[in-house]
Structure 1
Amino acid sequence: MASLNPSKSFKAFKVEDLMRLDDSYPSEFPKHELGFFREQLMNYINDVYLILKLALIFPVAITTVECAFSAMKLIKNDLRNKLGDQFMNDYLLTCIEKDVLDGISNDAIMDEFFDMKPHRQQ
């Protein structure tokens, strides 16, 4: 059973050791199913890591979605309920990602979108 211990990145995990369970419990592991049992053991670590990865990502994903819905609730109200989808998406993006946008100067934005500098003749 020490082979199933997840400590030290499953360092103790050995498929051959676990396959010896079929000697101790022949009624639980019929000979014709041993190939399937070996395959399941080979996938065990990959499946555990996938579950751990999803468990670690889940809280971040929920927080991001809740933040987006909170921002949408602030923006889309009775006075502004006729916003078009593209404008709404752009407005929400600026609201949600305001930390990133704070690092961009207003002059840089104006240069990018309004081209307020006079054109030079060549």
Structure 2
Amino acid sequence: MSNTVLVVEDEPNIVLSLQFVMRQAGYTVRVASDGEQALKAVAEYVPDLVLLDIMLPKRDGFAVCEEIRNNPACKNVKIIMLSAKSREADRERALKLGADEFMTKPFSTRELGDLAKRLLKIEIS
């Protein structure tokens, strides 16, 4: 059974790129385009990994990350925060709220795929 990745991103081109990378790595991919959709999607089906943009409509990625971390059903969910912001304060805040990793856009799709595999403890070939 493949792992499920929830891509939470409001920029269509980035969504396409993330979907492609995650599907190529063998994951089942679901998409949410704002913070409220993301929380609804997590409530309906807990993913193994969330790729979470910070700047989102309705609820930002920080609020979504915090809510996922406060949900006991999501204790094993891995979260990679993605942001165009490269300030150290944003990185620290993301990690403090419970993100497992933080990547600054633009990022290498290969690095992201490898990071996802590491977090989900899948053999990297």
Higher percent of residues as strand:
2
TM-score normalised by L of structure 1: 0.21
Higher percent of residues as helix:
1
Whose RCO is larger (CA < 8 A, sep 6+)?
Answer: 2
TM-score normalised by L of structure 2: 0.20
